[in-house]
Structure 1
Amino acid sequence: MTRTSNPGTRNVLYELGFEDAAELTAKVQLAIRFNDLIDERGLNQREVAALTGMTQPKVSQLRRYKLQNVSLERVMQALVSLDQHVEIRVRKARRSDAAGISVAA
């Protein structure tokens, strides 16, 4: 997680200078959905670990948004384990859009 200055964006992680801001943003958005699902279903961390194949400490990290040691792919797989459809779309950037990564969760 190296930091470089990139002022003037709409993403606070870019503005704080995180080179991996796009990936961190995607992980946060997916982790929010993951945590919402757990709350909606009233699951505890042990139950989530059993459903997702993750360890309980890894579930705890995700619950607390400690995302440094959790891959984007792992978060997506966890969502699939919770009966979610994760879709990745690649398209040409429009003039009104900057090239980059976005997640809708």
Structure 2
Amino acid sequence: MRSKDNHKGTDNVLDDLGIEHAEEQSAKAVLAVKLNTLIEARGLSQTEAANITGMTQPKVSQVRRYKLENISLERLMQALVSLDQQVEIVVRPARRAHGAGITVAA
């Protein structure tokens, strides 16, 4: 964890808290929220979700509980595609006010 000495707030609360790899963790969380929303909306069990997404049931359980340390961004994106979602990655120059970074919207 980083020191919080004179740290100004940002748009990423995980970064503000000094969490390592905050941008990646934030992106994973956004994708996991969308994945969990789809699983709930479709009334899928963890086993059914695993069969559809190609994940193991324990991995689906980790996503359901937002334990995302051992799950890659790529795996989360692939799971969303398996649930008929369009995943887009957009690269553009950073705006000066916000600087370079990663943003995920679902």
TM-score in terms of structure 1 length: 0.92
Superimposed CA distance per residue, residues 9-68 of structure 1 (whole angstroms, 9 cap, x where no aligned partner): 232211111230000000000000000001111101000000011100000000000001
Aligned residues: 103
CA distance in 1, matches of 2:32, 2:45: 16
CA distance in 1, matches of 2:102, 2:65: 23
Runs of 4+ deviating beyond 6 Å: none
Q: Does 1:4 align with 2:2?
A: yes
Q: 5+ unaligned residues in a row in structure 1: which ranges?
A: none
Structure 2 residue matching 1:57: 3-state secondary structure: helix
CA distance in 1, matches of 2:51, 2:11: 37
Structure 2 residue matching 1:79: 3-state secondary structure: helix
Aligned-CA RMSD value: 1.2
Kept after mapping to 2: 8 A contact 1:5/1:15: no
Q: Structure 1 vs Structure 2: percent identity of aligned residues?
A: 64
Q: 1:87-102 residue pairs with structure 2 within 5 A?
A: 87-102=88-103
1:87 is matched by which residue type in structure 2? E
Cα displacement (A) at 1:93: 1.0
CA distance in 2, matches of 1:82, 1:99: 30
CA distance in 2, matches of 1:13, 1:103: 14
Q: 1:71-90 residue pairs with structure 2 within 5 A?
A: 71-90=72-91
Counterpart in the other structure of 1:21: 22
Q: 5+ unaligned residues in a row in structure 2: which ranges?
A: none
2:74 is matched by which residue type in structure 1? E
TM-score in terms of structure 2 length: 0.91
Counterpart in the other structure of 2:63: 62
